[in-house]
Amino acid sequence: MTPPPPASPAAGANSAAERDVAHVLHPYTDHKAHRAKGPLIITGGKGVRVTDQNGREYIETVAGLWCAALGFNNERLVQAAADQMRKLPFYHAFTGRSHLPLIELAEMLVERAPVPMSKAFFANSGSEANDTALKMVWYMNNALGRPQKKKVISRIGGYHGVTIASASLTGLPVNHKLFDLPIAGILHTSRPHHYHHALPGESEEDFATRLASELEAMIVAEGPDTVAAFFAEPIMGAGGVIVPPATYFEKIQAVLRKYDVLLVADEVICGFGRTGNYWGSQTMGMQPDILTCAKALSSSYLPISAVLVNERVYEAMSEGASQIGTWGHGYTYSGHPVAAAVAVETLKIYDEMDIAAHAAEVGAVMQKRLRERVASHPLVGEVRGVGLIGAVELVEDKAEHRNFDPARKIAPRLVGIAENHGLILRALPNDSIAFSPPQIITAAEVEEMVERFGHALDDLSAQLKREGLTVV
């Protein structure tokens, strides 16, 4: 068997990079390319910045994975974890067992919910939370004597996780190809991106009307008595930071109510102030029956996620569990006391700093500066976003909204260039670059981030011109 090539020409014998290539299977990675290039190894962090093993500092423009809301060195969260480790390092929530961090966190989430909610269930990731929500929908309808009402609709371009069920809900090709997904009973309706999918001259409101009509047609074609739920992020995250058109959720929810279809709001990215309100549901006018959250719930200092359900869903599940004798679902680490204690402290910090107001104020600076600095750039087709979440989409033809050939990997190339400017970026579909910095970021740090990004974009443009690529 031929051994893999070294991580990179610079990797020394038994270096961390070489050890990584030899032993680590990385998520969302081209493994052959990784064997040649090797990893970027992060060894520390402070505020909105992280440091690699060579001592180089970067602004983390996506808060890791949309998640380190309080930055990379919050001592209060470290102390909360240490204190709880000494009191009760582990206990479970099965068969009615409980502990104080679990109880307090559930209370806090129900109190802060965007619409009246009844109960909170805990898992370990956004994928698990959405997988759980889907199981709840199925369980509820069985308990109500509606075994045929099981189909679930999500959206092309939506992202809901990577378990078998949640990856099926996800509407991205890379999460389906070679995995034999999606599973049966998961349907996908149109991606609500006006920039790419509106008809010529179609307003946002008319586009929203058409999308709602398409959703209704899908439900009618499938049979309303077979469609159970609609999963949606308030703003699509990993699918490209897609902000829905004006009146979209108002019209979508009218269709859902008409056919008794539950709305599940995936707040894994948008929750806890990111959009300028505590919940993305508030920003977008959503009234969910079930809400999932994760990531910023603990500022991602420890893995934890939650599923909030309203009274209607809870009562149906409760009836089913009574019939069977138990609700046969849960995770060993559901509401883990240390993760729950860190999440409780996280929510207290959010309250003290008024996280949503801060994101709205500094987010307005970010949205304004991105548009001023790069919207007119020859490579930029669209700048979009709300609050402290945004994206810059690169195109080959601005007038036609035409993207580059994906094989050219233009956005990933910009990610590499940006590292030389002290930025860690994330590339999304359609050569979009995401911006979702830690929510503690200041206006001055936003200015620095955007300026560095502008320089990286200029460098990419210069390289493409040297290669003879003409951008229209």
Coil/strand/helix, residue 403: coil
* Residue 55: predicted pLDDT: 96
Whether the domain at 40-73+355-466 and the domain at 75-353 fall into the same CATH topology: no
Least Cα distance to 271 among 248, 292, 246, 241 occurs for 292
Only one residue has tokens 């990784």, namely 34
* Residue 13: predicted pLDDT: 54
Q: How many helices (H) and strands (E) does the chain have?
A: 16, 15
* Residue 7: predicted pLDDT: 37
Only one residue has tokens 């939650």, namely 306
Least Cα distance to 208 among 243, 245, 234, 233 occurs for 245
Q: Please list the pLDDT of the chain residue by residue as tens digits (472 residues).
A: 333 333 343 445 579 999 999 999 999 999 999 999 999 999 999 999 999 999 999 999 999 999 999 999 999 999 999 999 999 999 999 999 999 999 999 999 999 999 999 999 999 999 999 999 999 999 999 999 999 999 999 999 999 999 999 999 999 999 999 999 999 999 999 999 999 999 999 999 999 999 999 999 999 999 999 999 999 999 999 999 999 999 999 999 999 999 999 999 999 999 999 999 999 999 999 999 999 999 999 999 999 999 999 999 999 999 999 999 999 999 999 999 999 999 999 999 999 999 999 999 999 999 999 999 999 999 999 999 999 999 999 999 999 999 999 999 999 999 999 999 999 999 999 999 999 999 999 999 999 999 999 999 999 999 999 988 766 6
50 and 72 Cβ atoms separated by less than 8 Å: yes
Tokens linked to 153: 């609709």
* Dihedrals phi, psi of 40, to nearest 5 degrees: -95, 115
CB-neighbour burial class of residue 330 (10 A; exposed 0-12, middle 13-18, buried 19+): middle
* Residue 472: predicted pLDDT: 61
Domain ranges of the chain: 40-73+355-466, 75-353
Q: Looking at domain 75-353, which CATH architecture does it have? A: 3-Layer(aba) Sandwich (3.40)
Point out which residues pair with 426 in neighbouring strands.
Answer: 434
Residues with Cβ within 8 Å of 454's Cβ and at least 6 positions away in sequence, in order, are: 373, 374, 377
Tokens linked to 469: 């690529």
Q: Name the CATH topology of 40-73+355-466.
A: Aspartate Aminotransferase, domain 1 (3.90.1150)
Helix (H) or strand (E) holding 119: strand 119-123
Sign, CA torsion 91/94/96/102: positive
Coil/strand/helix, residue 187: strand
